[in-house]
A and B are shown apart, each in its own frame.
Chain A
């Protein structure tokens, strides 16, 4: 399968714990995006990388959130001191820098904070 993959698919954690999600983009794609989606809403942009550089962050990305893409391949999204309001689907997408509109999404990681 050469699509975007995300791990884990589901994560249940207690409030206050830290969680980390991983995204593996399509191999030739140099742009990688993170979105958050809550029930009944469309995805909301969080941040994106071109290669290893983080080029933009949304105001939704509080200081408890951090994302990395150390070698320009896979990316991780960490949430520290999780809150119940962080419960959502976290989606990763990737694209070529020359065709930013053609974003291909992974299956998402469903986070539940209890």
Chain B
């Protein structure tokens, strides 16, 4: 199946700092999505991207669909403690393929 690589695998940051994470694939995707998952819960959709080069924001979150269609980026500005969780990218090509996740810890 398709392999999506997320980096970094984990991040420990101070409250108020900005966060950047990315997702890369060896294959082209038509749609990229970013989800956040908290312990014991299902993933929650944050942002959906539909066109190469697209830049979309949702509050303090900004995501970009890479020009090559093989990557995507997520930025979180001015992090707060409730941003803690695991962030997954997902690419759509016939079906959804999920990355391995970036675990974010925000230190107050």
Are B98 and A42 touching (Cβ within 8 A)?
Answer: yes
Name the A residues within 8 Å of B94 (CB-CB): 56
Q: How far is the CA of A56 from the CA of B94 in the complex (A)?
A: 10
Chain A interface mostly helix, strand, loop or mixed?
loop
Are A107 and B43 touching (Cβ within 8 A)?
Answer: no
Are A4 and B92 touching (Cβ within 8 A)?
Answer: no
Are B4 and A107 touching (Cβ within 8 A)?
Answer: no
Whether A42 touches B88, Cβ cut-off 8 Å, given contacts A101-B33, A103-B45, A104-B45, is yes
Interface residues of B in 44-64 (CB under 8 A from A): 44-45, 48, 50
Name the B residues within 8 Å of A42 (CB-CB): 4, 88, 90, 98-101
Are A106 and B50 touching (Cβ within 8 A)?
Answer: no
Are B98 and A43 touching (Cβ within 8 A)?
Answer: yes
Are A101 and B44 touching (Cβ within 8 A)?
Answer: no
B42 at the interface (CB under 8 A from A): yes
Name the A residues within 8 Å of B7 (CB-CB): none
Are B48 and A45 touching (Cβ within 8 A)?
Answer: no
Kindly list the 9 A-B residue pairs having the minimum CB-CB distance in the complex, ordered from nearest.
A42-B98, A105-B42, A101-B31, A45-B95, A42-B88, A43-B98, A105-B43, A101-B48, A108-B42
Contacts from B to A (Cβ < 8 Å): 4, 31, 33, 35, 40-45, 48, 50, 88, 90, 92, 94-101
7 examples of A-B residue contacts, CB within 8 angstroms:
A41-B98, A42-B90, A42-B100, A58-B95, A101-B50, A102-B48, A104-B45
A103-B33, A105-B45 known; 15 new pairs, CB 8 Å cut-off, are A40-B100, A41-B100, A42-B90, A42-B101, A43-B98, A100-B92, A101-B33, A101-B48, A103-B45, A105-B35, A105-B44, A107-B40, A108-B40, A108-B41, A108-B42
